[in-house]
Structure 1
Amino acid sequence: MSAAPLDRPALVAAARATIRKGSKSFAAASALFDRTTRERVWLLYAWCRACDDIVDAQDMGGALGDQSGAAERLALVRQRTAQAMAGQPAGDPAFDALGLVARETGLTMAMAEAVIGGFALDAADWQPRSEADLMRYCWHVAGAVGVMMAVVMGVAPDDEDTLDRAADLGLAFQLANIARDLSEDDAAGRCYIPAEWLAEVDIPPGEQMKPIHRAAMAKLARRMCSLAQAHECSARIGAGRLSPRQRWAILAAAGIYGDIARKVAERGEQAWHSRTVVSGKEKLAWIARAGWRAMRPVPASCHQGAAHRRHTRRDLIALAEARPFG
């Protein structure tokens, strides 16, 4: 039986409202895309946001809700995603949005499942032991989204190096978010700082946000932000292969999110006294700066910075296949 036709304008309108509420930074950058790409990016974002909110029992990335029943919520995400990817109405506009953009661009269930793998780790109260574990987590929850975004923008599924660099943008975003949200995650009983990093600076498990350890945590946050910077540089190289408007949008997003990491590093021990934000004025400045950079060759500094990344998308996929979590 064929699926009922979807109302594309309604799904796009709902997705637009979602990104405006869920991510002001990404919403600002997405406005720079051509109309078709912009709408498809909104549709994909709506699915990502819905998955995260369902699994974490939260609203638009707010405070975590009751975490009992996480396995059941994860199963619901997988069921609705599979329905949408099969072209069937999923009963939720965010999942129908995924089905629509998948049909328009060639996104696959394997790509979606890579993202869902990150939600599965959170549902299992997983925490990273090593830096490689951290990066594999970031691959699932954000790098895999970067790959899907690249396909939405027209990158060929077999263009491995460009997909690697698209994943790098997601990795940079997630590392910045983790560094910014250490205090909020701690309050929710979560820690994404590798246990080995904590041991290196003599912080006992579960005590990372105590005032006595603030100086050490600032050091670890700078380390994480340095990782983010290397992946941001790699992503800028990949952006140079996109169409001008897409390049402009990606460079703007990279700059805005990169500022989160840079501000966390600069604030040091004060980074978690209040939420680190990029102001509206600063976002506009990055949009203007990105427009200029989009017309220029990729600077040598990006190639130099990207050389410091220690994990690529293909490395992380190989690690996951060779040594599964659990």
Structure 2
Amino acid sequence: MVSAIPDRAALVAAARDTIRRGSKSFAAASSLFDRVTRERVWLLYAWCRACDDIVDAQDMGGALGDQSGAAERLALVRRLTAQAMAGQATGNPAFDALGLVARETGLTMAMAEAVIGGFALDAADWQPRTEADLMRYCWHVAGAVGVMMAVVMGVSPDDEDTLDRAADLGLAFQLANIARDLAEDDAAGRCYLPAEWLAEADLPPGEQLKPQYRETLAGLARRLCDMAQAHECSARVGAGRLRARQRWAILAAAGIYGDIARKVAARGDKAWHSRTVVSAKAKLAWIGRAGWRALRPVPASCHRGAQARRHTRKSLIALAEAKPWG
């Protein structure tokens, strides 16, 4: 029998430990929120981290474990999520955390299912064929999380344009992560570069990390980073509609994660000799810079940059509904 749901303080403490271990960058940015928002962000992050770790059989986003049984682990994630959203104790603090933050903010099962859809793709050993496939994957694993984060911050579920911008921040994060983690994903037998991109670049599938193809791979990584930059610009436009401290936190997160993409692009074919990181000093600098930007109007360059994005939340959802995965 599952015991009662832990009290709020215990769930918040567990979630705080999770974000500190799982994402130093996001933990740093979340410190800028007001206390209530900060705690709710931690609670949501804990669920996201737990889902990813369970489906991939990993710990805090580390090396992938044995991938057999992925379908069963995905079913477990869905069952625990449904229990949590129904207000039932799950026996897992991360899922209890989702139930708590959902009750406090109005998150829905449909929002959670959009995120779980990304884990389902990984469990099925899916790889993208087209750029649209890639972006729909990014929507599930990160853009949909951005929407949930926006609701946690108090954005109305009916504010479609602001939710689009929130999704764009998640898309920017995921595109940067994909560019940074090409070597790690290759070691795990995964590739998120669209097959059409590889064909256009005459890059044999499965051989993209070989020395003779590194320069070509760097060009594809820059393409990912340019896409991330356009979505980051869109997110900065949306951040201008948030309350001051929320705007500060989002601009800091956008800057820190944006630096990952910028560093990958700048390192060229050496980007995968070692993991690209943003130093603690650089993160502090972004926190200060974001505080200044939070007080200023969104620059025209951001509006122009946002226009370069080719995919929006609405278009990606429409694609997903019109064309089943497979």
TM class by smaller structure: over 0.9
Contiguous gaps of at least 5 residues in structure 1: none
Counterpart CA distance in 1 for 2:16 and 2:81 is 20
Residue 46 of structure 1 is matched in structure 2 by 46
Long gaps (5+) in structure 2: none
Alignment partner of 1:94 is 2:94 = yes
Q: Distance in 1 between matches of 2:119 and 2:97?
A: 19
SS at match of 1:202: coil
Matched, 1:231 2:231: yes
State the partner residue of 2:296: 296
TM-score of the pair, normalised by structure 2: 0.99
Equivalent position of 1:186 in the other structure: 186
Aligned: 1:200 with 2:193? no
Q: Which runs of 4+ in 1 moved over 6 A?
A: none
1:261-272 equivalence runs, <5 A: 261-272=261-272
Equivalent in the alignment of 1:122: 122
1:136 aligns with 2:136: yes
What is the CA–CA distance in structure 2 between the aligned matches of 1:58 and 1:124, rounded to whole Å?
Answer: 16
1:240 — aligned with what? 240
Q: Deviations over 1:215-252 (max 9, x none)?
A: 00000000000000000000000000000000000000
- Paired letter, 1:27: A
Could you tell me how far apart the structure 1 residues matched to 2:274 and 2:4 are?
47
**Which amino acid letter does the alignment assign opposite residue 198 of structure 1?**
L
Q: What is the distance in 2 between the residues matched to 1:324 and 1:318?
A: 11
Distance 2:228 2:198 in 1: 19
Contact 2:130 2:197 in 1 (8 A): yes
Shift of 1:204: 1.1
Quote the RMSD (CA, aligned, Å). 0.7
**TM-score, with normalisation over the residues of structure 1?**
0.99
Question: Could you tell me which residue of structure 2 aligns to residue 14 of structure 1?
Answer: 14
Equivalent residue number for residue 25 of structure 1? 25
Please name the residue that 2:75 is paired with: 75
- Map of 1:84 onto structure 2: 84
Q: 1-side partners of 2:41 and 2:100: how far apart?
A: 12
2:107 corresponds to which residue?
Answer: 107
**In terms of mean alpha carbon deviation, does 180-189 or 204-213 score higher?**
204-213
Q: Which amino acid aligns with 1:246?
A: Q
2: CA distance between counterparts of 1:244 and 1:267? 34
SS at 2:29's partner residue? helix
Cα deviation 1:268-326 (Å, max 9, x = unaligned): 00000000000000000000000000000000000000000000000000000000101
Identity %: 86
The one-letter code sitting in structure 2 at the alignment partner of 1:135 is M
Q: How does 1:51-70 map to 2 (within 5 A)?
A: 51-70=51-70
Query: What is the aligned partner in structure 1 of residue 159 from structure 2?
Result: 159
Does residue 276 of structure 2 align to residue 276 of structure 1? yes
1:105 is displaced (CA, Å) by: 0.1
Q: What is the Cα deviation at residue 131 of structure 1? A: 0.4
How far did 1:6 drift?
A: 3.7
CA contact (8 A) 2:5 2:88 kept: no
Tell me by how many angstroms 1:201 deviates. Answer: 0.7
In 2, the alpha carbon distance for the partners of 1:221 and 1:193 equals 9
**2-structure distance, mates of 1:4, 1:296:** 47
1:196 deviation in Å?
A: 0.4
Tell me how far 1:5 sits from its aligned partner. 5.2
In the alignment, the residues of structure 2 paired with residue 208 and residue 99 of structure 1 have an alpha-carbon distance, to the nearest angstrom, of: 42
Q: Supply the AA of the counterpart residue of 2:96.
A: D
CA distance, structure 2, for counterparts of residue 233 and residue 5 of structure 1: 40
- Letter of the 1:81 counterpart: T
Residues in 2 aligned to 1:4 and 1:119: alpha-carbon distance in whole angstroms: 28
Secondary structure of the 2:33 match is coil
Match of 1:170 in 2: 170
Deviation of residue 205 (structure 1)? 1.2
Cα deviation, 1:122-163, whole Å, max 9, x if unaligned, reads 000000000000000000000000000000000000100000
In structure 2, distance between residues paired with 1:238 and 1:42: 21
Distance 2:212 2:123 in 1: 30
Which stretch of structure 1 is more off in the superposition, 5-14 or 139-148? 5-14
SS of 1:238's equivalent in the other structure is helix
Separation in 1 of the partners of 2:212 and 2:52? 33
- Residue 255 of structure 1 corresponds to 255
Helix, strand or coil at the partner of 2:202: coil
